[in-house]
A and B are shown apart, each in its own frame.
Chain A
Amino acid sequence: MKSSVITFPGSNCDRDMDVALKKFGFKNKMVWHDDSELPKSDLVVLPGGFSYGDYLRCGSMASKSKIMQSVINFANSGGMVMGICNGFQILVETGLVPGVLLRNKYLEFICKNVFVKINDKQNRYFKNVNNEVLELHIAHNEGNYFCTKDQLKEIEDNNQIAINYCDESGKIDDKFNPNGSIKNIAGILNKEKNVLGMMPHPERMIDISLSGEDGSLFFKNLINNLK
């Protein structure tokens, strides 16, 4: 399986993602934002970080960079595109996934482990994951998912919510919502379910001695689903 991680000026989780993808068997290539051609890929990842210093709106500049036109074309032809954290912010700015990510409700940068419940297991990202709940890491200032009422209805009707913030047992409640996101949304899919944007970082949870291993579950499963 071939993957590509796009590096934007200000990306800082691109190398972590490279390590994670390689650990679980992907042949990964790093791609510079100013390139226009995407290498042949089974998966394209927009990594976390602070592309363009979060100027204007997080992800807004990166969404207009040269490589993104190829990424958009790849996604529109059914290619798997995953945006993590700042990558999620870039995805919403391209319009590949609906909604926006606002400043966290209580105006604090949040850096901690959270639990997320997998809402949809029909898609190729979470299909066959045995766990209902994953423990993953979040680190963001703008992760407060917002969309219009009409968009929310469409998202729910199409079962596009990928994961929700919850407690260890999988209970979804306002108490376990770290940033004010509508419906505790931590990650969403596009209508066709080939594009995933999520705030949590699975690449930070792949080493038992450093963190948990729920990210490992995610990547092992993902590569199997793509085969």
Chain B
Amino acid sequence: MKISVIITLKQDVLDPQGKVIHQTLDGMGFEDVNEVRQGKYFEIDMKETDYAKAKTKVEEMCKKLLANLVIENYKIIDPK
């Protein structure tokens, strides 16, 4: 079962890469951008077939390794 995770920076954390991407987009003519925030995306293929159990494990992975909760939030995307 594939479970996806999106990690984003918390709102009050500076994202210099996002800022530069924003500036570049601006320079390319995409002038209608308010802000760009860069994050991370993971696809985790789990052996577990029970979704609830798999999700609990992925949540634990997020807390222990994938995200640093001082600066990042995680969001688990339900499989389609």
Chain A residues with CB under 8 Å of chain B are 56-57, 60, 64, 93, 99-100, 102-107, 144, 146-148, 151, 180
Contact = CB atoms under 8 A, between A and B. Distances in A.
Interface string B19-44: 01000000000000000000000000
A148 B13 CA distance: 9
Contacts of B20: 107
Output the residue of A100, A106, A151, A180 with the most chain B CB within 10 A. Answer: A100
Contacts of B66: 56
Output the residue of A56, A104, A144 with the most chain B CB within 10 A. Answer: A56
Nearest to A104: B16
Given A104-B16, A106-B16, A144-B14, 12 more contacts: A56-B65, A64-B64, A99-B70, A100-B70, A102-B13, A102-B71, A105-B14, A105-B16, A107-B20, A146-B70, A151-B70, A180-B14
Output the residue of B17, B64, B66, B68 with the most chain A CB within 10 A. Answer: B68
A46 to B, nearest CB: 17
B18 to A, nearest CB: 10
A57 B68 contact: yes
- Interface of chain A, main secondary structure: loop
B68 A64 contact: no
Contact of A100 (B16, B64, B68): B68
Nearest to A93: B68
Contact of A103 (B16, B68, B70): B16
Contacts of A147: 70
A143 to B, nearest CB: 13
Contacts of B13: 102, 146
A60 B14 contact: no
8 contacts: A56-B65, A64-B64, A100-B68, A102-B14, A105-B14, A146-B13, A146-B70, A151-B70
A190 to B, nearest CB: 15
